[in-house]
């Protein structure tokens, strides 16, 4: 399993808007991660999404099959089935207190 690594102060990348809402607890953790890493919110969110997508073996196989001229994509929503998104450990101890 690979590890998530966020470089401090490395938030200068090309950006495209993404219309979405984020759960309050996740938004708080992202804000805290931004402060800690000295990066913009968009950089941290992009980095987290890139990491999550790279960890999904099913998605990576699907992506490579399309690149290799595989079958046309089936309309299953923006992210596909919910079970394809990997679970990420909480960033703060506050989340574990909520789960108890």
In a domain, 3, yes or no: no
SS (H, E, C) 73-94: CCCCCCCCCHHHCCCCCCCCHH
pLDDT tens digit at each of 100 positions of the chain: 577 777 766 666 666 777 889 899 999 999 999 999 999 888 899 889 989 999 988 988 999 999 888 666 555 555 554 444 445 544 544 444 444 3
Angle at 46 between CA 41 and CA 51, to 5 degrees: 130
Q: How many domains would you assign to the chain?
A: 1
Distance CA 47, CA 49 (A): 5
Enclosing domain of residue 43: 24-99
This model's pTM is above 0.85: no
Q: Which H or E element spans position 61? A: helix 57-67
In a domain, 19, yes or no: no
The neighbour count for residue 11, using CB atoms within 10 Å, is 19
In a domain, 79, yes or no: yes
In a domain, 39, yes or no: yes
In a domain, 10, yes or no: no
């Amino acid at each position: 399993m690979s590890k998530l690594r966020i470089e401090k102060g490395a938030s200068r990348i090309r950006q495209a808007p993404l219309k979405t809402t984020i759960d309050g607890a996740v938004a708080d953790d992202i804000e805290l991660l931004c402060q800690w890493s000295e990066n913009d919110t968009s950089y941290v969110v992009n980095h987290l999404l890139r990491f999550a997508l790279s960890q999904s073996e099913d998605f990576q196989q699907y992506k490579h099959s399309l690149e290799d001229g595989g079958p046309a994509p089936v309309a299953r929503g923006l992210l596909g089935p919910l079970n394809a998104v990997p679970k990420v450990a909480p960033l703060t101890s506050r989340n574990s207190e909520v789960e108890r």
